[in-house]
Amino acid sequence: MTNPQKAETKQFEAEVSQLLQLMINNLYGNKEVFLRELISNASDACDRLRFAALEDEDLYEDDPDLEIYVDWDADAGTLTVKDNGIGMSRSDVSENIGTIAKSGTQEFMQALEEKDEIDSQVIGQFGVGFYSAFIVSERVELETRRAGEPAERGVRWSSDGRGEYTIETIEREERGTTITLHLREEEQEILDYATLKGIVEKYSDHVSFPIKMPAQDEDEEGWETVNRASALWMRRSSDISDEEYTEFYKHISRDFNDPLEWTHAHIEGRLKFSMLFYIPSERPFDMAAGVDSEHRGVKLYVRRVFIMDDAEMFLPRYLRFVRGVVDSDDLDLNVSRESLQENRVVSAMKKTATNRVLDMLEEMAEDPETYQTFWNQFGNLLKEGAVEDHARRERLSGLLRFATTHTDQPDQTVSLDDYIERMGEEQEKIYYVTADSFASAKSSPHLEIFRDKDIEVLLMYDRIDEWLANHLAEYQDHELQSVAVGDLDIDDVGDEQDDPDRDEADEDHADLIAALQASLGQRVEQVRTTRRLRDSPACLVAQEGGMSKHFERMLRDAGQQVPDRKPILEVNPDHPIIERLGEKVEEGEDVGEWADVLFDQAWLSEGGQLDDPGTFVQRMNKLMIRLLGESDSDIITEV
């Protein structure tokens, strides 16, 4: 066993070194933010000590005034940030400094490697706090002692940020953490009062603990407080500048990018609380990497005392992209996470908070460009909301956006209200098509008649869309109807067309239908002529009340049992292939091979995968050989 007291030299985890380099390169243009990050950590450490001391007053060690100090030594080229917050034990230091414990980091780094160009927005929203010190430093030293631990349990950590660090146990009287940056020669020009004070004021004024610097005033001895040192969320919004809101966001969210929008309110009445919520401009990297992190970015304060991070109980799950603070006057200081789950005050706060966020989104939606930015990042979560939140379904539905057959790009979207406003007089239903991608939704054969009649159809191609459409069922009294399910009743809708009468057409093609039916046998419920197609020979339709093939496939992929309902094959009697097949049947020829090809083709154009692609290809080849085998003149006279 190694002596735990001994100094050790360790390697950063591989991704830390990598990320560090990326950070330094990307943030250099804005390098003074390192100070914001160190002060932000100091402020968190003070918050955490105050919280821990609720249970154990002794942790204050007769030093209850929590403060942050910024000091420098121009001759030595050093800058020091010191706090008397919670501090760290040796294992805390190894765990927190030198590793990146955030879920999804690995995935994130991989995603970055696959990209040629690294977008500084992506890096920015990753925010690696402490490490930003290396943007300006050739060496960083950290000394700390955890509150409540004896002086001989101090820790010193030191690194040049190039892959290794040393850690050792030291004697340290002071509680909390001192971080000393040895600035690179060319960075030492910031080491003067005015510059440092300017940086602190710009980025850290919102910090609710006093930030102190050596007093410059002749008469004043010692230290002066350079920030406002009051909780930003308790102030009136008219007194807070956009810059202050933005910097506060960066502090609580660990995001280096500006927020997209925020909402701030003080509630007084039956309940008394304040809330400040932000929408990030970029999907957090762990959400983007598909990791559904448990991180919910709301901090809970009770009467200005920090209680917990990730207070997920104040907003519904689908609003998990929201970052912010709630500060309650009604809750107990010693609440536990569990006790909050069933708490009546909390559920009343949650209701108000949720509506407040939706108010903000509705307001944002009045500016379609900003809303589109939001929608591209977080739209899927609102779809989740429309599925889950029954009570607010109508409201959430109003916030949804969809690409349609009338827009050209996936990111040109319309609301359901816009859609309804554009509907023709006779149109009652909201039509949608589902598929795996924008491209396959757009080229679905089911849309042919809708194009002809100039009826707009929503293009749904997100994984969640089928669920959404099924749960939504209707909006503003207009039923949602999949274009791939059941019989379409659109004779009177849209531009007038010479709509074929199905009964007549079925009768005219009775022999062909019977032949196809006979040879497809178990694969279909029924064969009939179509009212949907213009350019394609055939398509598959779900039975009335059934689910589209696409949805069935999704459920199967998700490991669910799906009732085996056979589709209906609809054929287009005006298509040359179907016309010729009709003739072949009349001539007494077997069309079995053709029937299978039609079916498989229709299945493929739904985005389906063939169980047996080999057989499909063989069949196609056989048919092609047969066609090629006939002399050219035969083919020409036949057509």
d(CA 47, CA 37): 15
Contacting ligand ADP (CB under 6 A), which of 32, 47, 83, 570?
A: 83
Candidate residues 16, 19, 35, 86; the one interacting with ligand ADP per rule CB under 6 A: 86
Residue from the set 12, 19, 35, 37 that interacts with ligand ADP by CB under 6 A: 37
Min CB(88)–ligand ADP separation in Å: 5
Stretch that binds ligand ADP, among 36-44, 345-353, 362-370, 558-566 (CB under 6 A): 36-44
**Sign (positive or negative) of CA dihedral 9, 15, 18, 22:** negative
Neighbour tally for 336: CB within 10 Å? 10
The residues, any chain, with a CB within 8 Å of residue 234's CB and separated by 6 or more, are 266, 274, 304, 327
Residue from 85, 124, 284, 316 touching ligand ADP (CB under 6 A): that is 85
Residue (295 or 509) nearer to ligand ADP, CB: 295
Q: What is the DSSP string of 24-53?
A: HHHHGGGTTHHHHHHHHHHHHHHHHHHHHH
Return the biggest CA–CA distance within the chain.
113
Work out which of 16, 27, 79, 128 binds ligand ADP, going by CB under 6 A: 128
59 with 145: CB under 8 angstroms? no
Residues 133 to 192 in contact with ligand ADP, rule: CB under 6 A: 177
Distance CA 293, CA 306 (A): 22
- Closest separation between CB of residue 151 and ligand ADP, Å? 17
- Check if the beta carbon of residue 565 is closer than 8 Å to that of residue 532: no
Tell the smallest beta-carbon distance from residue 443 to Mg ion (Å): 48
Task: Give the interface segment with ligand ADP, choosing from 37-45, 221-229, 473-481, 516-524 (CB under 6 A).
Answer: 37-45
Minimum distance of Mg ion from residue 45's CB (angstroms): 10
Binding residue for Mg ion (CB under 5 A) from 129, 161, 210, 259? 129
Q: What is the dihedral of CA 585, 591, 595, 601, to 10 degrees?
A: -110
- CA pair distance 308, 300, nearest whole angstrom: 5
The C-alpha atoms of residue 484 and residue 481 are separated, in whole angstroms, by 9
Nearest residue to ligand ADP on Cβ basis: 129
For residue 567, give every residue at least 6 positions away whose Cβ sits within 8 Å of its Cβ, in sequence order, or none: 524, 525, 540, 541, 542, 543, 549
Crossing angle between the packed helical segments 105-114 and 14-27, to the nearest 10 degrees: 60
| Nearest distance, CB of residue 255 and Mg ion, angstroms | 11
Identify residues 88-107 at the interface with ligand ADP (CB under 6 A).
88, 96-97
Helix (H, G, I), strand (E, B) or coil at 432: strand
Residue 254 interacts with ligand ADP (CB under 6 A)?
Answer: yes
Q: Which does 490 bind (CB under 5 to 8 A by kind): Mg ion, ligand ADP, none?
A: none
The answer to whether 41 contacts Mg ion (rule: CB under 5 A) is yes
List the one residue from 16, 20, 27, 45 that touches ligand ADP (CB under 6 A): 45
Single out the residue of 104, 124, 129, 148 in contact with ligand ADP (rule: CB under 6 A). Answer: 129
Interface contacts to ligand ADP, rule CB under 6 A: 37, 41-42, 45, 83, 85-88, 96-97, 128-130, 177, 254
Binding footprint of Mg ion on the chain (CB under 5 A): 41, 129
